[in-house]
Amino acid sequence: MSKRERFNNLIPSLLSSILPIHTITLLFLESLLEPFTYEFFTNAILVSILVGGVCGLMGVYIILRGMSYIGHGMSHAVFGGAVVSYIVGFNFYLGAAIWGFVSAYLINVITRRNKIKADAAIGVVTTAGFAIGVLLISMTRSYTRNFEALLFGNILGITDQDLAVIMLVTCVTAFFIFFYQKRLLFTLFDKETAKVYGVRTDMAELIFSLILAAVIIASMSSVGVTLIAAAIIAPAISARMLTNNFMKMVVASTIIGVLTAFLGMYSSYFLDSASGATIVLFGTAAFGVSSLYAYSRKLYQTHTHEKFIRHSHPHIHEGEHMHKHRS
């Protein structure tokens, strides 16, 4: 029995010594902890928790900026770079990063002429990048298994290098968001005035885009390129349903991201499913639950003033006809 196994048996054995727990319950607990006996799984759980948190954090700024589509596009574009670097034998992260930045630059160049709008430019450039990846895969069949992991996420595909990269990206992202929060908020809310008041909005946006690209690349192996967009957006929109307060929204989105990523990765072990798809479905479920919560809260808060004014907001009743707005 290895050290790790002994550690994992510790909790059930402790519990059984204190409480008269049935053997079946013990077996159940043991099987719940079973995945943690594998090193690849502890790696995968760590990676997915970090990915979930970082995606949730970035997601808030992305949905408020109205650029959900660029996350989707970037992840697809990066896929081409990943495939090329696999085939050439180049470092995966380096290849994907260069490819990502080149496509971001191309999108920028095309939209600068004003004739073609950003969504169209993203649609062409990023899908072309994806198509190059698919073309190369179909020409070199032997790599199929790896690429499926890249597309949909696979816990078996997560390596120590992935863990190191996502740790680094998490640190950089947290650092950036902490010190740039006010500047980002101001830029998102009112870019023009932010510029007048001395915020270097171009710089903030450029750093934000670079970090987004880094987050996407670091998330590829656990969530998969086709599903990253949902992993970024779902926690953020769930948080948006729960609160109107920006700071609370950032915290809630990060927590929801961590929780759904953990649950998704964990259940993908038992279901033997693609980890990315499972994580994304948990995220969608979180959105469903939070929407239901918001809807029922709205029903509860709806009230009528005088004759015709009917609206909904948090309030405290004072006396019969008075009510006060509450923050």
Partner 1 sequence: MKMRHKIKTDSSDIALGNLVEVNDVTFGYSPHKPILENVSVKIPKGRFVGLLGPSGSGKSTLLKIIIGLQKPWKGTITFLGNNITDSHAYSSKSIGYVPQIESIDWNFPVTVKEVIGMGIWNKSGVAPWFSKDVDVMVGIILDDLGIYSSEFRNRQIRELSGGEQQRVFLARALIRKPTILVLDEPVSGVDYNTREKIMEILRSLNHDLDMTIIITTHDLGGIGKRLPWVICMNKRVIAEGDPLKILTKDNLLRTYGLADYNDSIISNDNISNGNTDNTNNNDSFTIPTKYVPPPSDRLKIKNDDDEI
Q: Which residue has the tokens 């996350």?
A: 71
Helix-, strand-, coil-residue percentages of the chain, each rounded to 5? 80, 5, 15
Q: Does 179 bind partner 1 (CB under 8 A)?
A: yes
Nearer to partner 1, 232 or 250 (CB): 250
Q: Does 111 bind partner 1 (CB under 8 A)?
A: no
By CB atoms closer than 10 A (0-12, 13-18, 19+), residue 113 is exposed
Q: Does 247 bind partner 1 (CB under 8 A)?
A: yes
> What is the Cα–Cα distance from 37 to 33, expressed in whole angstroms?
7
The token pair at 24 is 């079946």
Nearer to partner 1, 60 or 218 (CB): 60
Q: Does 316 bind partner 1 (CB under 8 A)?
A: no
Which of 8-16, 81-89, 194-202, 298-306 is the region at the interface with partner 1 (rule: CB under 8 A)?
194-202
| Residue span 196-225 as binding mask against partner 1, x where in contact by CB under 8 A, dash where not | xxxx--------------------------
Supply φ then ψ for residue 282, to 5 degrees. -65, -40
Nearer to partner 1, 184 or 223 (CB): 184
> What is the Cα–Cα distance from 78 to 2, expressed in whole angstroms?
40
Q: Which of 141, 177, 129, 156 is nearest to 265 (CA)?
A: 156
Q: Which residue has the tokens 């159940």?
A: 28
Task: Name the residue type at position 32.
Answer: L
Q: Does 312 bind partner 1 (CB under 8 A)?
A: no
Query: Using the rule CB under 8 A, which residue among 31, 108, 144, 193 binds partner 1?
Result: 193
Q: Does 186 bind partner 1 (CB under 8 A)?
A: yes
Nearer to partner 1, 28 or 179 (CB): 179
Q: Binding residues for partner 1, per CB under 8 A?
A: 64, 177-179, 181-183, 185-186, 188-190, 192-199, 240, 243-247, 249, 313, 324-327
